[in-house]
Amino acid sequence: MSERNIKIFGRISSLQKQIDKYLDRIAEAAMLYQQLFDHFLDHGADDRLEELVGRVLKHKHKCSNLCRELEIALYTDMLIPDARGDVLELLHALDDLMDLFKDLAVDLSIRQPRFDPSLNHDLMAVVKMVTQAVDHLVKASRLFFSDYRAMQHDLHKVGFLEGEADDLVNKLKRQIFSTDDPIYKKIFRCEILDNLDDLADSAKDVAEMLSICAIKRAL
Protein backbone atom coordinates (compact mmCIF):
# COMPACT_ATOMS: atom_id res chain seq x y z
CA MET A 1 0.00 0.00 0.00
CA SER A 2 1.56 3.31 -1.03
CA GLU A 3 2.29 6.17 1.38
CA ARG A 4 -0.05 8.33 -0.71
CA ASN A 5 -2.94 6.07 0.20
CA ILE A 6 -2.12 6.22 3.91
CA LYS A 7 -1.00 9.71 4.94
CA ILE A 8 -1.78 13.18 3.68
CA PHE A 9 0.89 14.96 5.72
CA GLY A 10 3.72 12.44 5.61
CA ARG A 11 6.54 13.58 7.88
CA ILE A 12 4.98 16.95 8.70
CA SER A 13 4.19 16.03 12.29
CA SER A 14 3.52 19.62 13.44
CA LEU A 15 0.56 19.95 11.10
CA GLN A 16 -0.79 16.57 12.21
CA LYS A 17 -0.48 17.67 15.84
CA GLN A 18 -2.47 20.83 15.09
CA ILE A 19 -5.19 18.75 13.47
CA ASP A 20 -5.26 16.42 16.49
CA LYS A 21 -5.54 19.40 18.85
CA TYR A 22 -8.41 20.77 16.78
CA LEU A 23 -10.25 17.44 16.91
CA ASP A 24 -9.57 17.17 20.66
CA ARG A 25 -11.40 20.48 21.19
CA ILE A 26 -14.46 19.24 19.32
CA ALA A 27 -14.57 15.94 21.25
CA GLU A 28 -14.22 17.86 24.52
CA ALA A 29 -17.03 20.25 23.56
CA ALA A 30 -19.32 17.26 22.99
CA MET A 31 -18.50 15.90 26.46
CA LEU A 32 -19.00 19.32 28.03
CA TYR A 33 -22.39 19.71 26.41
CA GLN A 34 -23.46 16.31 27.74
CA GLN A 35 -22.41 17.37 31.25
CA LEU A 36 -24.17 20.71 30.79
CA PHE A 37 -27.50 19.17 29.75
CA ASP A 38 -27.36 16.56 32.51
CA HIS A 39 -26.68 19.27 35.08
CA PHE A 40 -29.54 21.40 33.73
CA LEU A 41 -32.04 18.55 34.09
CA ASP A 42 -30.96 17.92 37.68
CA HIS A 43 -30.36 21.47 38.92
CA GLY A 44 -31.75 23.93 36.40
CA ALA A 45 -29.94 27.15 35.50
CA ASP A 46 -27.34 27.95 38.16
CA ASP A 47 -23.73 29.10 38.44
CA ARG A 48 -22.41 25.65 37.53
CA LEU A 49 -24.46 25.67 34.33
CA GLU A 50 -23.06 29.08 33.39
CA GLU A 51 -19.55 27.80 34.06
CA LEU A 52 -20.11 24.91 31.65
CA VAL A 53 -21.59 27.24 29.04
CA GLY A 54 -18.51 29.43 29.38
CA ARG A 55 -16.23 26.46 28.83
CA VAL A 56 -18.12 25.51 25.66
CA LEU A 57 -17.73 29.09 24.40
CA LYS A 58 -13.99 28.99 25.10
CA HIS A 59 -13.69 25.73 23.16
CA LYS A 60 -15.52 27.32 20.24
CA HIS A 61 -13.19 30.33 20.29
CA LYS A 62 -10.08 28.13 20.40
CA CYS A 63 -11.43 25.94 17.60
CA SER A 64 -12.03 28.95 15.36
CA ASN A 65 -8.49 30.20 15.98
CA LEU A 66 -7.03 26.76 15.25
CA CYS A 67 -9.11 26.52 12.09
CA ARG A 68 -7.67 29.81 10.81
CA GLU A 69 -4.12 28.71 11.65
CA LEU A 70 -4.65 25.40 9.87
CA GLU A 71 -5.96 27.12 6.74
CA ILE A 72 -2.66 28.98 6.45
CA ALA A 73 -0.57 25.90 7.27
CA LEU A 74 -2.34 23.77 4.67
CA TYR A 75 -1.17 26.06 1.89
CA THR A 76 2.45 25.95 2.99
CA ASP A 77 3.00 22.47 4.50
CA MET A 78 0.60 20.07 2.85
CA LEU A 79 2.21 17.02 1.30
CA ILE A 80 -0.62 16.20 -1.14
CA PRO A 81 -2.02 19.48 -2.57
CA ASP A 82 -4.83 17.66 -4.39
CA ALA A 83 -6.41 16.82 -1.00
CA ARG A 84 -6.22 20.40 0.32
CA GLY A 85 -9.77 21.28 -0.72
CA ASP A 86 -11.21 18.20 1.02
CA VAL A 87 -9.28 18.94 4.21
CA LEU A 88 -10.43 22.57 4.26
CA GLU A 89 -14.03 21.50 3.67
CA LEU A 90 -13.78 19.03 6.56
CA LEU A 91 -12.27 21.60 8.93
CA HIS A 92 -14.96 24.16 8.13
CA ALA A 93 -17.73 21.57 8.53
CA LEU A 94 -16.34 20.58 11.94
CA ASP A 95 -16.13 24.25 12.91
CA ASP A 96 -19.81 24.56 12.00
CA LEU A 97 -20.53 21.70 14.42
CA MET A 98 -18.76 23.69 17.12
CA ASP A 99 -21.05 26.60 16.29
CA LEU A 100 -24.04 24.33 16.88
CA PHE A 101 -22.68 23.18 20.25
CA LYS A 102 -22.16 26.81 21.22
CA ASP A 103 -25.69 27.75 20.12
CA LEU A 104 -27.22 24.78 21.97
CA ALA A 105 -25.37 25.63 25.18
CA VAL A 106 -26.30 29.32 25.09
CA ASP A 107 -29.90 28.55 24.10
CA LEU A 108 -30.35 26.21 27.06
CA SER A 109 -28.94 28.83 29.41
CA ILE A 110 -31.19 31.61 28.09
CA ARG A 111 -34.47 29.79 27.43
CA GLN A 112 -34.33 27.34 30.36
CA PRO A 113 -37.06 24.95 29.14
CA ARG A 114 -38.99 23.04 31.78
CA PHE A 115 -39.43 19.37 30.94
CA ASP A 116 -41.52 16.88 32.85
CA PRO A 117 -39.01 14.93 35.04
CA SER A 118 -40.46 11.69 33.64
CA LEU A 119 -38.81 12.61 30.31
CA ASN A 120 -35.34 13.15 31.76
CA HIS A 121 -34.07 9.63 31.03
CA ASP A 122 -35.02 9.78 27.35
CA LEU A 123 -33.82 13.37 27.03
CA MET A 124 -30.37 12.38 28.27
CA ALA A 125 -30.44 9.35 25.98
CA VAL A 126 -30.91 11.69 22.99
CA VAL A 127 -28.09 13.95 24.16
CA LYS A 128 -25.78 10.95 24.60
CA MET A 129 -26.61 9.62 21.13
CA VAL A 130 -25.90 13.01 19.57
CA THR A 131 -22.62 13.52 21.42
CA GLN A 132 -21.55 9.93 20.69
CA ALA A 133 -22.26 10.54 17.01
CA VAL A 134 -19.94 13.55 17.12
CA ASP A 135 -17.32 11.50 18.98
CA HIS A 136 -17.37 8.82 16.27
CA LEU A 137 -17.13 11.56 13.64
CA VAL A 138 -14.02 12.89 15.37
CA LYS A 139 -12.52 9.38 15.41
CA ALA A 140 -13.26 8.97 11.70
CA SER A 141 -11.73 12.38 11.00
CA ARG A 142 -8.50 11.35 12.75
CA LEU A 143 -8.34 8.22 10.61
CA PHE A 144 -8.89 10.26 7.46
CA PHE A 145 -5.45 11.78 8.05
CA SER A 146 -3.66 8.53 8.90
CA ASP A 147 -5.49 5.47 7.55
CA TYR A 148 -8.70 6.46 5.76
CA ARG A 149 -9.51 2.83 4.89
CA ALA A 150 -10.28 2.23 8.59
CA MET A 151 -12.93 4.96 8.84
CA GLN A 152 -15.99 2.97 7.85
CA HIS A 153 -16.84 1.58 11.29
CA ASP A 154 -17.01 5.03 12.86
CA LEU A 155 -18.81 6.54 9.87
CA HIS A 156 -21.44 3.80 10.12
CA LYS A 157 -21.84 4.53 13.84
CA VAL A 158 -22.54 8.20 13.10
CA GLY A 159 -25.38 7.27 10.75
CA PHE A 160 -26.77 4.67 13.13
CA LEU A 161 -26.78 7.03 16.12
CA GLU A 162 -28.37 9.80 14.07
CA GLY A 163 -31.23 7.47 13.16
CA GLU A 164 -31.67 6.32 16.76
CA ALA A 165 -31.69 9.92 18.00
CA ASP A 166 -34.26 10.88 15.38
CA ASP A 167 -36.59 8.05 16.48
CA LEU A 168 -36.29 8.97 20.15
CA VAL A 169 -36.85 12.67 19.42
CA ASN A 170 -40.11 11.79 17.64
CA LYS A 171 -41.17 9.65 20.61
CA LEU A 172 -40.47 12.52 23.02
CA LYS A 173 -42.40 14.97 20.84
CA ARG A 174 -45.44 12.71 20.92
CA GLN A 175 -45.21 12.53 24.71
CA ILE A 176 -44.88 16.30 24.98
CA PHE A 177 -47.87 16.94 22.74
CA SER A 178 -50.00 14.39 24.59
CA THR A 179 -50.04 16.60 27.71
CA ASP A 180 -52.57 19.30 28.58
CA ASP A 181 -49.95 22.03 28.62
CA PRO A 182 -50.48 25.16 26.48
CA ILE A 183 -49.46 24.71 22.86
CA TYR A 184 -46.76 27.38 23.06
CA LYS A 185 -45.01 25.43 25.82
CA LYS A 186 -45.16 22.23 23.78
CA ILE A 187 -43.66 23.95 20.74
CA PHE A 188 -41.01 25.62 22.90
CA ARG A 189 -39.85 22.28 24.33
CA CYS A 190 -39.90 20.59 20.95
CA GLU A 191 -37.67 23.31 19.50
CA ILE A 192 -34.95 22.23 21.94
CA LEU A 193 -35.30 18.68 20.64
CA ASP A 194 -35.25 19.88 17.01
CA ASN A 195 -31.95 21.67 17.66
CA LEU A 196 -30.42 18.48 19.06
CA ASP A 197 -31.73 16.56 16.06
CA ASP A 198 -30.17 19.16 13.74
CA LEU A 199 -26.79 18.58 15.36
CA ALA A 200 -27.07 14.83 14.75
CA ASP A 201 -28.12 15.50 11.14
CA SER A 202 -25.11 17.78 10.66
CA ALA A 203 -22.76 15.12 12.04
CA LYS A 204 -24.23 12.62 9.58
CA ASP A 205 -23.76 15.09 6.71
CA VAL A 206 -20.09 15.52 7.59
CA ALA A 207 -19.69 11.73 7.84
CA GLU A 208 -21.13 11.35 4.35
CA MET A 209 -18.75 14.02 3.08
CA LEU A 210 -15.82 12.13 4.67
CA SER A 211 -16.95 8.93 2.99
CA ILE A 212 -16.90 10.67 -0.40
CA CYS A 213 -13.44 12.11 0.33
CA ALA A 214 -12.20 8.59 1.11
CA ILE A 215 -13.53 7.32 -2.22
CA LYS A 216 -11.73 10.14 -4.03
CA ARG A 217 -8.46 9.31 -2.30
CA ALA A 218 -8.82 5.66 -3.26
CA LEU A 219 -9.09 6.46 -6.97
**Chain segment 76-95, per-residue pLDDT in tens:** 765 556 677 888 889 999 99
Angstrom CA distances, 85 to 14, 70, 75, 76, 92, stand at 19, 12, 10, 14, 11
Q: Which residues contact 164 (CB under 8 A, 6 or more apart)?
A: 129
Give the per-residue pLDDT at 106. Answer: 95
pTM above 0.85, yes or no: yes
pLDDT at residue 11, as a whole number = 46
Query: Residue 193 has what pLDDT?
Result: 95
- Looking at residue 87, its pLDDT comes to 86
Model pLDDT, residue 113 = 92
- The pLDDT of residue 12: 52
Domain ranges of the chain: 8-218
- What is the CATH superfamily name and number for domain 8-218? Phosphate transport system protein phou homolog 2; domain 2 (1.20.58.220)
pLDDT of residue 107: 94
96 near 216, Cβ under 8 Å? no
What is the Cα–Cα distance from 23 to 111, expressed in whole angstroms?
Answer: 29
Please give, one letter per residue, the 3-state secondary structure of the chain: CCHHHCCCCCCCHHHHHHHHHHHHHHHHHHHHHHHHHHHHHHHCCCHHHHHHHHHHHHHHHHHHHHHHHHHHHHHHHCCCHHHHHHHHHHHHHHHHHHHHHHHHHHHHHHHCCCCCHHHHHHHHHHHHHHHHHHHHHHHHHHHHCCCHHHCHHHHHHHHHHHHHHHHHHHHHHHHHHCCCCCHHHHHHHHHHHHHHHHHHHHHHHHHHHHHHHHHHHHC
Q: What is the pLDDT of residue 186?
A: 95
Closest to 137 in 3D by CA, of 105, 102, 110, 97: 97
Residues (pLDDT < 70) of the chain are 1-13, 77-82, 219
